[in-house]
Amino acid sequence: MVSGCACAPGLAVRSSRPGAGRVARASASDVARRDVTMLPAAARMRHSTDFALATRGGSKAGRPLVSGRLLIRQDSEEPARVGFVVSKAVGSAVVRNTVRRRLRHIARGYLGLLPRGSLLVVRAAPRAATACQADLAADLDLVLEALLRRQGGVVIQ
């Protein structure tokens, strides 16, 4: 078996012997105690009109793994929202959803840097499916830095 991460290729090792007993599932209280680092529901773009506004009117920047569009609406007092576009070129539904979850996890850390009322669309390139988390984070960091610089926002340091 080969590892799926491009950063550290190598052999994957089973964590237990084949045929070993099943692991008990987490209870609801276990899940509640975990530190969940998800993108808040209020910060997610869900309507096609928001995606259209950001892609048509926003500035753009791109890297090999991700590209982005940012529209800062000066007159809006809504919280910043982030949307994700992961096309079928990235892979199967399972792969696309995995890439989307990974990007959501990374994007959560940038919510505080985005001005109120801004709309950010992050598009995953097909290579994002095989990239490791560090490479995705680095590309998204560079994309957001370029977008904020162009819009006159805060520069990431």
pLDDT at 7 over 90: no
> What was the pLDDT predicted at 6?
55
Please give the Cα distance from 22 to 97 (Å, whole number): 26
**C-alpha neighbours within 13 Å on the C-beta side of residue 17:** 2
Task: Enumerate domains of the chain plus CATH numbers.
Answer: 59-151 (3.30.230.10)
> What was the pLDDT predicted at 76?
84
Side by side, the strands of the sheet bearing 59-62 are 59-62, 66-72, 118-124, 81-86
Please give the residue that has the higher pLDDT: either 143 or 74: 143
* Tokens describing residue 76: 């809006």
Please give the Cα distance from 121 to 52 (Å, whole number): 10
> What was the pLDDT predicted at 38?
75
> What was the pLDDT predicted at 64?
95
> What was the pLDDT predicted at 40?
86
| pLDDT tens track for 9-51 | 554 555 555 555 554 454 444 444 444 567 888 889 999 999 9
Which residue shows structure tokens 């892609």?
Answer: 55
Q: Global pTM?
A: 0.73
| pLDDT tens track for 70-117 | 998 888 888 999 999 999 999 999 999 999 999 999 999 988 889 888
